[in-house]
Structure 1
């Protein structure tokens, strides 16, 4: 692998840190003339119990994810990128992103936002970004700040 990234994946979850990762992903993709893949994984574990009472929650989550990713896709194209795709998956983000999606799309860089979980939550479930770093087959950039994002 050289010093140039060709296939960049940005994990999008609706958080401000994911937005910062997206903005940095655009700039990295421009510098490397790389493709940009925007991914949102709907964590089915988070609404498994609710679905017993509300059977359309999965459909609503998918619609919200699609609207969010279409907005990010438009921003990336407006910023000058020509090879931008998005994908919505179901399952555990900490498994699907590094183990399945990164390999499926031959990703050589993953960008994701740092999590906002507290110490107790990390102890019991672990953070998504931590799992991505541990299991990804490629470089990973964890974005904690909006520093160096150029305002337009």
Structure 2
């Protein structure tokens, strides 16, 4: 069993739980001299019909995701992380993180926040962090905020 991580994937969406996951990702990346891969999934499953009215909706969302990841990447570099990569994907966050982003990053650890959607959505859709934990082919660290 390898006790070091080399490619850490942190799922971020701008929420407070994602912020905590990001901070934990920086700590773990520093301790392991690892590459920090930051992923944001533009969840197109929630707004398929919107593009009928705004054909540039997804492009705008992807652009905002890239800006968000650039800010996170800059913060990581300022805190001493030398190797930072960003990944923007489209689709359902649950499946994209484990099936595509983790493979693209060659992740040996995925870090995500414990929550991020409200209780009603979680009841019908299921938790993204729960799905990642069940389906990832590598270690998963689910980070809780102080409030939880």
- 2: CA distance between counterparts of 1:116 and 1:25? 17
Tell me which residue corresponds to 2:23: 23
Tell me which residue corresponds to 1:32: 32
CA contact (8 A) 1:114 1:129 kept: yes
Listed as ranges, the matches of 1:100-139 within 5 Å are 100-139=100-139
- Deviation of 1:121 (Å): 2.3
Structure 1 runs of 4+ aligned residues shifted over 6 Å read none
Pairs aligned (count): 147
Tell me which residue corresponds to 2:57: 57
SS at match of 1:49: helix
Would the alpha carbon gap of residues 145 and 47 (structure 1) be closer, same or farther in structure 2, given more than 3 Å must change?
A: same
Tell me which residue corresponds to 2:75: 75
Q: Deviations over 1:29-68 (max 9, x none)?
A: 0001101000001011122111111111111101110110
- 1: CA distance between counterparts of 2:76 and 2:117? 28
Which deviates more, 68-77 or 48-57?
A: 48-57
| TM-score, normalisation: structure 1 | 0.91
Give the RMSD, CA atoms, in angstroms. Answer: 1.5
CA contact (8 A) 1:103 1:137 kept: no
Would the alpha carbon gap of residues 20 and 104 (structure 1) be closer, same or farther in structure 2, given more than 3 Å must change?
A: same
Tell me which residue corresponds to 1:144: 144
Provide structure 2 residue ranges, at least 5 long, that are not aligned to the other structure: none
CA contact (8 A) 2:15 2:116 kept: no
Provide structure 1 residue ranges, at least 5 long, that are not aligned to the other structure: 148-152
CA contact (8 A) 2:113 2:129 kept: yes
Check if 1:45 corresponds to 2:52: no
Tell me which residue corresponds to 1:150: none
| TM-score, normalisation: structure 2 | 0.93
